[in-house]
């Protein structure tokens, strides 16, 4: 006779439960029988780099990082287009050359606009 195909899933679930629970149970037993737990203020501290944490984690930071990231992203994408452009430079038809120049011009225009708006002025 063939067993119900779902039996294997039940076995799988059983193993999946016992496999992590057994070490945890053994650790708990070890703690009870041999090694008493020794918690402490520093041992339970959240930050673990040897330096005491200062102040609150819920702080505001300037949104200017976001503008830098956006501008960086635009020119990152531009670099992806520029590399094949440079490779195929000598064999390009005039139309393709003009279109990549327009693409560059649009990006440069964006940079000029961001610059004139003072986005690159960190001290603002």
Partner 1 sequence: MSDQIDEGLRNELQKQGIWVTSMQELYNWGRKNSIWPLQFGLACCAIEMIATAASRYDLARFGGEVFRPSPRQADLMIVAGTVTKKMAPQIVRLYNQMPDPKYVISMGACAISGGPFKQGYNVLKGIDRYIPVDVYIPGCPPRPEALLHAFMELQRKIDNQKLTGADKAAHLNKEQVSEFPVPAFGAHDLEPAANPNIFHPPAIERA
Q: What number of chain residues touch partner 1 (CB under 8 A)?
A: 14
Q: For partner 1, which is the closer residue by CB, 52 or 121?
A: 52
Q: For the residues of 80-94, what is the DSSP string, one character each?
A: HHHHHHHHTSTT--H
* Binding flag, residue 46, partner 1 (CB under 8 A): no
CA 9, 12, 16, 21 dihedral sign is positive
Q: Which one of 5, 38, 79, 116 is in contact with partner 1 (CB under 8 A)? A: 38
Q: Which one of 3, 15, 19, 52 is in contact with partner 1 (CB under 8 A)? A: 52
* Binding flag, residue 40, partner 1 (CB under 8 A): yes
Do the Cβ atoms of 100 and 57 come closer than 8 Å? no
Do the Cβ atoms of 49 and 43 come closer than 8 Å? no
Q: For partner 1, which is the closer residue by CB, 49 or 86?
A: 49
């Amino acid at each position: 006779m063939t067993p119900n195909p779902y039996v294997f899933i039940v076995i799988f679930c059983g193993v999946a439960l016992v496999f992590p629970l057994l070490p945890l149970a053994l650790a708990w037993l070890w703690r009870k029988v041999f090694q008493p737990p020794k918690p402490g203020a520093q041992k339970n501290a959240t930050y673990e780099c040897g330096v005491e944490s200062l102040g609150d984690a819920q702080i505001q930071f300037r949104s200017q990082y976001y503008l830098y990231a956006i501008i960086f992203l635009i020119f990152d994408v531009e670099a992806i287009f520029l590399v094949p452009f440079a490779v195929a430079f000598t064999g390009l038809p005039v139309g393709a050359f003009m279109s990549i120049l327009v693409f560059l011009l649009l990006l440069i225009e964006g940079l000029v606009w961001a610059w004139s708006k003072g986005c690159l002025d960190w001290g603002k």
